[in-house]
């Protein structure tokens, strides 16, 4: 070895260098020697790596070249084995082989079947598996592998089966089927397992063939070998999983007859849990008894699986959970970190739904706070935060802060989410929590983590008025040094909205203006908008704000300049209405809709100016509220939902535009959510969606024919119009075959009298039936007319109103003015709580609650609800409802303001 010879020199140099370095002289000699040492060290380091790893720096082409040795006879097993290992090594390192390279190596490898060397042979199997997906004509090895799989050498048989299945395609499966069946019931466990596992892999593609192996699988479940039993049960379930009854039998059979394998038990528990969930059964199900009995199994793996399954089930009560929680509690003090982790993680899940069930474990969880595994400690703390009471919050927060820097971002997010739920649970603790959050904001962290904190602070500010000032101050500090543009703009927007309404708005302006000086264009633009909002809302700051904005007019970015110029000019008018419409409450239109309308306008040049009211309004994302209510929901599903809600109306608009009969109705104002007008299990299933236009309503009926021996043609929905309404057109659905949804439209003209907007329509489905063959769908020549009575469709006030969020309700209230104000007092005797009244009022009027006035403080007997929206035709509509609770029910004083007198009248009567 070359290394040994160089060693003494090296040692000598080391010693001399040490001696030279000791007096710490910086003579040139020492420096030179040091440099030599360094280079020597580097050489040695490289040599060390190369020497230690014989596979380092392997060249793909060299290795493949070497693989030609396989063709030599006689075969040298050692040498070939070494080369094959090299090939496997470079593939494992991620080197990709081309088809020709792989095919060439593959064919060379097949020559190695001549050698009987056990290691070499099984390396060949590995090689075959690696290359089976890249090389061509891999079927060539089938016969060699089949020989091995049925041969005498037991240690070849299992691996040979697995290699064979990787080269087999569906057409070849038939020919090996007999051998596979034999292998499954082979008495050698390795062979049987290999066959079962391969069958599962094959079962992903060709289910039919695998199905025929069910008897063999059944036999294999009774094997004495634990792994064979596990694999056989897996295959058996895979074959039968679409047949619920068979799965049911499977579980009840094997839950009685004791399995040997803990893995098989875990699988059986999962199958049982799935059945319980599918049947929506509770703890009275026999499946549940089985799972519960597994809590007393001797293997920890099975006990945990059972506890985990019980915790995950939907219909469990605190009582059902108790045994599972107590085994998890025992695991908490296990010496194995994995067991502690698993237990505390599952307890954490329990705490989301049933915090009371976990309180018994509080003491054990407290001990885990100091666990060396930080993941365990974090989970323990967040669980305690969910189950603990107000008094323990301070102590726990202190404990978390000691190791926040040591845990991964993912867990930090878990902590933030726990704090978020604490904020809403213990509003009085906002001081401690806010301080902690601001501390976290200052620490290092990725975007997702920071975003979570900011969202948490914003949510707390919105829910808790007392926390507002502190929260805003923390956010101001954060944007001073924030590298994420998205977060900075979001915070600036929030400051613009909330800042002006605080007691001392002026202190925020400095923070915002600093952004104008220091940040990128997107943040500067957001800052400019925020400053303008201060100017519009606070009279005493107006002049200073104008001065600041005028400075921004010299900005290098045109968007910033444009915004500044626009705001300066609006603010200088000093008109409340203008400020409210153009600064405080902004545009309420759908951006996609605006783009489309403008595009349309430029295509057809006309004399009339562009009408903003023709643009569809932005629909309030209905999901926002809901998401907050369910904190356990997967974060990833949120954006998808929002997107759907925002574009639903655009989708309808597009759909309706496709129907030539419904052209020229103008822009779509509002689409209702679908209402069922039949029972869901009837012959014909019909849903109705109401689309409101300026002068018309289009009723869209989505019909599904659930009879497989009928074909419907010329399907329409005939409507008996209410007084004043007039049906002008039916758009039939030409043909409605079995199970293919079709759509028919009915166009109704709205009454000319502006205050007449509601009505009830009787609907009948009319069509021509043709009987047809259920199999082929071939219809008869002749058909006959028939009809089917549907439920009535109602048109109510909410269909004429689009929800609009006014961030600054008071400004809008002043903007619309008292001109068309109507006021009345109602006694809502049927309502027993203010919450219920609010819910009903919102539902009847179809307006958007503003300033979070739909949330009532606990135990209050009076409340003011602010609602805003736009009425069909583009008239702003604002409602202020003062509610008071007394013994006879809820009393409401309703004040309606609108830009149109008849709208005020309609809304004022909507509740009555």
Partner 1 sequence: MDGGLLEPSLYAIKAIAILDNDGNRLLAKYYDESFPTTKEQKAFEKNLFNKTHRANAEIIMFEGLTCVYKSNVDLFFYVVGSSQENELILASVLNAFYDSISQILRKNVEKRTLLDNMDAVFLAADELCDGGIILEADSNAVVQKVAIKNDDIPLGEQTMAQITSKYGQQVSAATDRVLQSAKDQIKWSLLK
Site for partner 1 in 797-816 (CB under 8 A): none
Residues numbered 366 to 425 that lie near partner 1 (CB under 8 A) are: 372-376, 408, 410-411, 414
Contact between 312 and partner 1 by CB under 8 A: the answer reads yes
Q: Which residue in the set 35, 43, 47, 55 belongs to the binding site for partner 1 (CB under 8 A)? A: 55
232-261: contacts with partner 1 (CB under 8 A)? 234, 237, 241
Q: For residue 820, what are the contacts with CB-CB under 8 A and spacing of at least 6? A: 897, 898, 899, 900, 901, 903, 904
Site string for partner 1, 14-43 (x = CB under 8 A): xx-------------------------x--
Nearest distance from C-beta of residue 351 to partner 1, angstroms: 12
- Decide if residue 193 touches partner 1 (CB under 8 A): yes
Using the rule CB under 8 A, give the single segment among 51-59, 176-184, 647-655, 813-821 that binds partner 1. Answer: 51-59
Choose between 637 and 861: whose C-beta lies nearer to partner 1.
637
| Nearest residue to 831 (alpha-carbon basis) of 880, 878, 867, 883 | 883
Rule CB under 8 A: choose which of 54, 205, 741, 774 binds partner 1: 54
Q: Which is nearer to partner 1, 90 or 441 (CB)?
A: 90
- For partner 1, which is the closer residue by CB, 308 or 800? 308
Give Cα 549 distance to the centre of its chain: 41
- The residues, ordered by sequence, that sit 6+ positions from 576 with a Cβ below 8 Å of its Cβ are 811, 814, 815
80 or 494: whose CB is closer to partner 1? 80
Binding segment toward partner 1, per CB under 8 A, in 63-71, 272-280, 617-625, 769-777: 272-280
CB of 267 to partner 1, least distance (A): 6
Stretch that binds partner 1, among 273-281, 388-396, 478-486, 784-792 (CB under 8 A): 273-281
Report, in Å, the least distance between residue 3 CB and partner 1.
8
Pairwise CA distance, residues 55 & 69, whole Å: 18
Closest distance to partner 1 from the beta carbon of 373 (Å): 4
CB 716 within 8 A of CB 701: no
Residues in a beta bridge with 868: 848, 878
Supply the minimum distance, in Å, between the C-beta of residue 328 and partner 1.
12
> Which stretch, 333-341, 511-519, 688-696, 755-763, contacts partner 1 (CB under 8 A)?
333-341
Among 240, 297, 308, 691, binds partner 1 (CB under 8 A): 308
- DSSP string across 841-903: HHHHH-PEE-TTTTS--TT-SEEEEEEEEEETTTEEEEEEEEEEEETTEEEEEEEEEESSHHH
Site string for partner 1, 752-791 (x = CB under 8 A): ----------------------------------------
Task: Give CA separation, 659 vs 647, 693, 744, in Å.
Answer: 19, 15, 10
Rounded (to 5) percent helix, strand, coil in the chain: 60, 15, 25
Cβ distance to partner 1 smaller for residue 218 or 464 = 218
Pick one of 10, 146, 459, 486: the residue that binds partner 1 (CB under 8 A): 10
* Contact call for residue 300 and partner 1 (CB under 8 A): yes
Tokens of 689: 């969606």
Q: Are 508 and 492 in contact (CB under 8 A)?
A: no
862 alpha-carbon distance from chain centroid: 38
Q: Judged by CB, which is closer to partner 1: 264, or 434?
A: 264
Place of tokens 């969606």: 689
Are 490 and 455 in contact, with CB atoms under 8 Å apart? no
d(CA 525, CA 496): 12
Report the relative pairing of strands 742-749 and 784-789 from DSSP bridges: unpaired
Q: How far is the CB of 498 from partner 1 (least distance, A)?
A: 31
630 SS3 class: coil
Residue whose CB is less far from partner 1, 241 or 740: 241
* Count of residues of this chain found to bind partner 1 when the rule CB under 8 A is applied: 82
Among 88, 209, 458, 810, binds partner 1 (CB under 8 A): 88
Q: Out of 151, 205, 337, 818, which residue is the one contacting partner 1 (CB under 8 A)?
A: 337
Residue from 123, 184, 475, 597 in contact with partner 1 (CB under 8 A) = 123
Comparing CB distances to partner 1, the nearer of 11 and 598 is: 11
**Pairing state between β 742-749 and 726-731:** antiparallel
Closest by CA position to 902, among listed 801, 762, 751, 755: 755
How far, CA to CA in Å, does 320 sit from each of 248, 365, 616?
22, 21, 52
Pick the stretch among 340-348, 546-554, 643-651, 749-757 that binds partner 1 (CB under 8 A): 340-348
SS3 685: strand
Burial (0-12, 13-18, 19+ Cβ within 10 Å), 609: exposed
Q: Which is nearer to partner 1, 193 or 585 (CB)?
A: 193
User: In the window 89-108, what residues touch partner 1 (CB under 8 A)?
Assistant: 89, 92-94, 96
Answer for the pair 550, 564: CB distance below 8 angstroms, yes or no: yes
Q: Does 7 bind partner 1 (CB under 8 A)?
A: yes
Q: Measuring CA to CA, which residue among 738, 742, 783 is closest to residue 765?
A: 742
For residues 15 and 356, which CB has a smaller minimum distance to partner 1 in the complex? 15
Angle between helices 170-184 and 214-221 (to 10 degrees): 30
Q: Which of 106, 341, 582, 725 binds partner 1 (CB under 8 A)?
A: 341
Would you count residue 126 as binding partner 1 (CB under 8 A)?
Answer: yes
x/- mask, partner 1, residues 198-237, rule CB under 8 A, reads x-xx-------------------------x--xx--x--x
Interaction residues for partner 1, span 144-183 (CB under 8 A) = 155, 158-159, 162
H or E stretch including 729?
Answer: strand 726-731
Of the candidates 106, 288, 290, 304, which one interacts with partner 1 according to CB under 8 A? 304
Using H for helix, E for strand and C for coil, what is the string for 272-305?
A: HHHHHHHHCCCCCCHHHHHHHHHCCCCCHHHHHH
Nearer to partner 1, 55 or 610 (CB): 55
Nearer to partner 1, 32 or 41 (CB): 41
Q: Which residues, numbered 630-669, are part of the site for partner 1 (CB under 8 A)?
A: 632-634
Rg over alpha carbons for the chain, rounded to the nearest Å, is: 37
Give just the sign of the alpha carbon dihedral 54, 57, 58, 62.
negative
Kindly give, in sequence order, each residue whose CB lies less than 8 Å from that of residue 572, ignoring residues fewer than 6 positions away: 546
Between CA 661 and CA 181 the distance in angstroms is 64
Stretch that binds partner 1, among 264-272, 435-443, 712-720, 774-782 (CB under 8 A): 264-272
Which residues in 815-834 contact partner 1 (CB under 8 A)?
Answer: none
Question: In the complex with partner 1, which residue's Cβ is closer, 418 or 697?
Answer: 418
Among 64, 66, 67, 81, binds partner 1 (CB under 8 A): 81
User: What DSSP line would sit under 405-421, residue for residue?
Assistant: GGS-HHHHHHHHHHHHH
- Least distance (Å) from partner 1 to the CB of residue 611? 47
For the CB of residue 281, give the shortest distance to partner 1 in the complex, in Å.
13
Q: Does 197 bind partner 1 (CB under 8 A)?
A: yes
Q: Is 338 in the site for partner 1 (CB under 8 A)?
A: yes
**What is the CA 313 to chain-centroid distance, rounded?**
21
Supply the minimum distance, in Å, between the C-beta of residue 425 and partner 1: 19
Please choose, out of 79-87, 459-467, 527-535, 547-555, the segment that lies near partner 1 by the rule CB under 8 A: 79-87
């Amino acid at each position: 070895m070359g290394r040994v010879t160089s060693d003494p020199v090296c040692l000598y140099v080391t010693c001399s260098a040490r001696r030279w370095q000791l007096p710490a002289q910086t003579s040139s000699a020492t420096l030179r020697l040091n440099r030599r040492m360094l280079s020597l060290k580097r050489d040695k380091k490289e040599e060390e790596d190369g020497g230690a790893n014989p596979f380092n720096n392997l060249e793909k082409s060299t290795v493949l070249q070497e693989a030609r040795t396989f063709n030599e006879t006689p075969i040298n097993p050692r040498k070939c084995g070494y080369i094959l290992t090299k090939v496997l090594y470079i593939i494992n390192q991620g080197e990709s082989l081309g088809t020709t390279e792989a095919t060439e190596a593959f064919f060379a490898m097949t020559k190695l079947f001549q050698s009987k060397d056990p290691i070499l042979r099984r390396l060949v199997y590995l090689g075959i598996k690696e290359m089976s997906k890249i090389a061509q004509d891999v079927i060539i090895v089938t016969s060699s592998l089949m020989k091995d799989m049925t041969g005498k050498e037991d240690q070849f048989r299992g691996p040979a089966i697995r290699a064979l299945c990787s080269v087999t395609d569906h057409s070849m499966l038939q020919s090996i089927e007999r051998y596979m069946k034999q292998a499954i019931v082979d008495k050698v466990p390795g062979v049987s397992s290999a066959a079962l596992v391969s069958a599962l892999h094959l079962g992903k593609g060709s289910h039919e063939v695998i199905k025929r192996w069910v008897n063999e699988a059944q036999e294999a479940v009774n094997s004495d070998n634990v792994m064979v039993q596990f694999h056989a049960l897996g295959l058996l379930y895979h074959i039968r999983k679409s047949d619920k009854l068979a799965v049911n039998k499977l579980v009840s059979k094997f839950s009685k007859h004791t399995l040997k394998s803990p893995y098989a038990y875990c699988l059986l528990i999962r199958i049982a849990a799935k059945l319980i969930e599918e049947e929506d059964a509770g703890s009275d199900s026999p499946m549940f008894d089985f799972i519960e009995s597994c809590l007393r199994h001797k293997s920890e793996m099975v006990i945990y699986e059972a506890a985990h399954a019980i915790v995950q089930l939907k219909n469990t009560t605190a009582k059902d959970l108790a045994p599972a929680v107590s085994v998890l509690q025992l695991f908490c003090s296990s010496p194995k970190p994995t067991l502690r982790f698993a237990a505390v993680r599952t307890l954490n899940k329990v705490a989301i739904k049933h915090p009371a069930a976990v309180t018994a474990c509080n003491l054990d969880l407290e001990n885990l706070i100091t666990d060396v595994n930080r993941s365990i400690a974090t989970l323990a703390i967040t669980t305690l935060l969910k189950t603990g009471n107000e008094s323990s919050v301070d102590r726990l927060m202190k404990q978390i802060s000691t190791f926040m820097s040591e845990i991964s971002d993912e867990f930090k997010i878990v902590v933030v989410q726990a704090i978020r739920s604490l904020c809403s649970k213990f509003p009085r603790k906002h001081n401690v929590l806010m301080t902690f959050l601001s501390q976290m904001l200052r620490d290092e962290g990725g975007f997702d983590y920071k975003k979570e904190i900011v969202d948490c602070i914003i949510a707390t500010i919105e829910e808790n008025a007392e926390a507002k000032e502190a929260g805003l101050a923390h956010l101001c500090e954060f944007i001073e040094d924030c590298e994420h543009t998205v977060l900075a703009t979001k915070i600036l927007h929030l400051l613009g909205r909330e800042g002006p309404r605080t007691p001392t708005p002026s202190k925020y302006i400095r923070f915002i203006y600093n952004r104008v000086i220091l940040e990128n264009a997107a943040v500067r633009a957001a800052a400019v908008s925020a400053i303008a909002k201060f100017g519009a809302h606070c009279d005493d700051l107006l002049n200073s704000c104008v001065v600041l904005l005028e400075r921004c007019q010299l900005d290098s970015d045109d968007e910033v300049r444009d915004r500044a110029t626009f705001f300066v000019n609006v603010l200088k008018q000093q008109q409340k209405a203008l400020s409210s419409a153009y600064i405080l409450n902004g545009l309420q239109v759908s951006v996609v809709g605006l783009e489309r309308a403008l595009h349309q306008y430029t295509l057809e040049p006309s004399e009339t100016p562009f009408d903003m009211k023709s643009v569809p309004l932005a629909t309030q994302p209905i999901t926002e509220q809901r998401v907050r209510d369910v904190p356990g929901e997967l974060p990833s599903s949120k954006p998808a939902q929002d997107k759907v809600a925002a574009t639903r109306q655009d989708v309808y608009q597009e759909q309706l535009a496709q129907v030539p009969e419904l052209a020229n109705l103008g822009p779509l104002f509002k689409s209702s959510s679908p209402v069922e007008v039949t029972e869901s299990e009837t012959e014909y299933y019909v849903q109705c969606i109401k689309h409101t236009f300026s002068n018309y309503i289009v009723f869209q009926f989505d019909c599904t024919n659930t009879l497989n021996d009928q074909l419907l043609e010329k399907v329409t929905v005939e409507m008996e119009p209410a007084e004043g309404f007039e049906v002008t057109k039916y758009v039939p659905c030409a043909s409605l075959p079995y199970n293919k949804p079709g759509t028919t439209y009915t166009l109704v003209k709205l009454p000319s009298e502006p205050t007449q907007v509601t009505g009830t329509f009787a609907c009948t489905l009319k069509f021509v039936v043709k009987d047809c063959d259920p199999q082929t769908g071939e219809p008869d020549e002749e058909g006959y007319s028939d009809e089917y009575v549907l439920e009535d469709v109602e048109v109510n006030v909410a269909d004429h109103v689009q929800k609009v969020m006014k961030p600054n309700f008071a400004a809008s209230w002043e903007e619309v003015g008292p001109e068309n104000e109507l006021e009345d007092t109602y006694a809502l005797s049927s309502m027993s709580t203010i919450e219920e009244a609010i819910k009903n009022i919102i539902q009847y009027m179809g307006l958007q609650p503003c300033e979070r006035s739909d949330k009532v403080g606990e135990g209050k007997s009076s409340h003011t609800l602010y609602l805003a929206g736009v009425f069909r035709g583009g008239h702003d509509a604002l409602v202020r409802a003062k509610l008071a609770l007394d013994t006879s029910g809820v009393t409401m004083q309703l004040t309606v303001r609108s830009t149109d007198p008849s709208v005020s009248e309609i809304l004022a009567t909507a509740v009555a």
